[in-house]
Amino acid sequence: MSAARALYAAALRFYGLLPHRLLGETTRVLGRARWPAPIVETIVRAWVARGRIDLADYEPRAYTTVEQFFLRELRPGARPLQAGFVSPADGKLFAAGELDGGPLVVKQQVLDLARVVNGTQRALLAPAHARRPLHALDLSPYAAGRYATVFLTPHGYHFVHAPVDARLRDVRWIPGRYFPQNATALSVIPRVYERNERAVLRFDSDAGPFLLVMVGASLIGGIELEGLARADWASAPPRATTIERDVRKGERLGHFTFGSTVVCLLSRELARGAELRPEIGRALRLGETLFR
């Protein structure tokens, strides 16, 4: 491990002590501010160079805020849809496997599926075993199913799309923190996908039900859904918000303002005979076959 990476890993151990929401609000204000054009252009050029971003994939435009660049739009045809259950976003395949009743393993993270999907009530004095779930989504259809986690990098495309034709039944909000989710962070910060803010989207498709869990990340971190004001679904106390909307494969579902993760959970009905196409650790593009 390089000295810089070792220093970053050491700093991450104290990330939980930081005021995550204040950091997010500050970054959001700065990102949406209308700075003089030369400042925005300098930031964009630096970000493109650092991330080796191919802007030919995106609609050409002048950016008046840094956030507009983060939320840049793909040009038509840049992400053709392949067969099967496709990747819902650009990113890296961090993990995939069977839902066999044991934990989900993502990098060094050992995660409880029920906590990822249903959350837990946070009580300072309550021991972990005594905490109750926030939601009661039935996970029995997912026994013997499949899972895959796609990490969206801060340098990439930040929108999430439907992996197949389906009906979006509802969304469940789980409030939480905003820890980073890159590989180094997952190696030193425990249970990130159980602790960060999440939106659990429940779908039915002709081949069977599935879930997409959008996990918010550090800094801006916010999760936004298409056609829904955030206050309509992310409000206390957390609840299931009915949507009942048909979505087409490749249709936009929502976005992250910075970078984050989407956990795909396939029911055993949908996963029957499914074959994972890409290798774990590989870069993915929106619309590329994930399960065939």
Model pLDDT for residues 93-140, shown as the tens digit of each residue:
999 999 988 888 898 889 999 999 999 876 555 565 557 899 999 999
Q: Give the mean model confidence (pLDDT) for residues 255-260.
A: 82
Whole-number pLDDT of residue 130: 58
pLDDT of residue 128: 58
What is the DSSP pairing of strand 260-266 with strand 210-215?
antiparallel
**Final residue of a structural domain among 12, 40, 70:** 70
pLDDT for residue 146 is more than 70: yes
Q: What is the pTM of this model?
A: 0.93
Instruction: Report yes or no on 278 lying in a domain.
Output: yes
- Nearest 10 degrees: CA dihedral of 94, 99, 105, 106? 20
Give the tokens for residue 192.
């990130």
Residue 78 domain flag: no
Q: Which of 149, 152, 137, 141 is nearest to 97 (CA)?
A: 149
Bridge partners of 263, per DSSP, are: 149, 213
Average pLDDT, the chain: 91
What pLDDT sits at residue 218?
85
- Please tell me the total count of domains within the chain: 2
Please check whether residues 240 and 163 belong to one and the same domain: yes
Structural domain ending residue among the three candidates 41, 70, 99: 70
- Domain shared by 155 and 22, yes or no: no
What pLDDT does residue 126 have?
Answer: 55
Domain membership of residue 263 as a residue range: 85-291
The proportion of the chain whose per-residue pLDDT surpasses 90, expressed as a percent, equals 70
Whether residues 133 and 63 share a domain: the answer is no
The reply to whether 76 falls in a domain is no
For residue 60, being part of any structural domain is answered with yes
Please tell me whether residues 146 and 181 are part of one structural domain: yes
Evaluate whether 192 touches 181 at the Cβ level (below 8 Å). yes
- Tell me, what's the pLDDT at 249? 98
Residues 157 and 20 in one domain: no
How many Å separate Cα 211 from the centre of its chain? 12
